[in-house]
Chain A
Amino acid sequence: MHEMSIARNLIDLVQSHLDTLGDEQVGTQQINAGQIVRLHLRVGALSCVHQDALKFSFEMMTADTSLANAELVFQTLPVRIFCTPCDQEVTLPGIQRFRCPICDTPSADIRQGQELDLDHLEWVDAPADQPTV
């Protein structure tokens, strides 16, 4: 189950991203991990990630840490290939057949579906009685 490794990478990425944030990106306030309520992920259909397993791994690894309040939200992206005869990107209904659904021409030119990205996060103001750093 490689979702444990992915969860570990996600946690490291969030922390390093917060550490390197310039003030101009978030106004004058530094965000800390405890203020994060949701992490929005973009997961391509070809990414081989089991979303429930990733969620489980993430929750297990962040319990009793400053990221314990953060929830994972998934946006699943279907595979899109470029079809040369149709001269356009087309969406595939599955991942077993890399042929244009319009003209049936095979294409290995994948334009979407391999993503495994942290797209954005949602954060709230820290309670007044807690320091923000």
Chain B
Amino acid sequence: MPRILEVRTKILKANDTLARQMRDQFEAAGVVVVNLVSSPGTGKTTFLTETLTQMMAAGDRVAAIVGDLETDNDARRLAASGAPAVQIMTHGCCHLEADMIQRELPKFDLEQLDYLFIENVGNLVCPTSWDLGESVRVGLLSVTEGEDKPLKYPGLFNTSDVAVITKMDLAEVCEFDKNTALENIASVRPGMRTFETSSKKRQGFEDWFEYLRACHRNLCQPA
């Protein structure tokens, strides 16, 4: 007769433990870490480049890490903002894990940073399980993807803290039904804050920046 041994442990315990240590490290250094997750083609890189450019201009100290299966194209696009940007090539891995981020941290002086953005590998499923030590997880959805994406991939929106709708300048031509999209987001994550943006037209970023700066204030001066 087989005997039973209780384990009762999270399978991703090693990742979670490392992520927790990194979160403590980020908090001690006063760095808000933002993990951007969406499908490929949502416009994460364009959105992040615009975010970095505008925040740099406002005097915020920002940097970015970007994950892709191959190429350093995205890091070069992000670096056009003037912010330090580091590329992780996962060579087939469909998501970033905490130790991949940890390996890149020596490239940054955290004490000289206010915000570190992590652009995850474009994927709506796999990144959701992996804590990267982020302060905020952002689920992005573009108007070209359809209003029902949150219902098709509830896991992503469910584990995100806020949502960003991108490419709002294309909403009309795509016949994007914004209210349905917002209802669907609220259905899988009641009460989630959602930002509507157009990176090309540089619209909708004020609220997003205000949100990030509130996160930074809370991190530096916990209530």
Residues of A within 8 A of B (CB): 1-2, 5-6, 9-10, 12-13, 17, 21, 25-26, 31, 37-38, 41, 46-49, 95-99, 106-108, 110, 114, 116-124
A98 and B155 form a contact (CB under 8 A): no
- In the complex, which residues of chain B have a beta carbon less than 8 angstroms from the beta carbon of A114? 159
Contact pick for A5, options B1, B95, B154, CB 8 Å: B95
- In the complex, which residues of chain A have a beta carbon less than 8 angstroms from the beta carbon of B10? 116-118
Residues of B within 8 A of A (CB): 1-15, 93-95, 97, 125-126, 128-130, 151, 154-155, 158-159, 186-192
Closest to B123 in A: A2
- In the complex, which residues of chain A have a beta carbon less than 8 angstroms from the beta carbon of B4? 120-122
Contact pick for B126, options A9, A48, A108, A118, CB 8 Å: A48
A122 and B3 form a contact (CB under 8 A): yes
Interface of B is mostly: mixed
B94 and A2 form a contact (CB under 8 A): yes
Residues A124 and B7 in contact in the complex (CB < 8 Å), given A2-B129, A96-B188? no
Residues A2 and B7 in contact in the complex (CB < 8 Å), given A46-B155, A96-B188? no
Q: Which of A5, A6, A38, A122 has the most CB of B within 10 A?
A: A5
A121 and B7 form a contact (CB under 8 A): yes
B155 and A48 form a contact (CB under 8 A): yes
A106 and B190 form a contact (CB under 8 A): yes
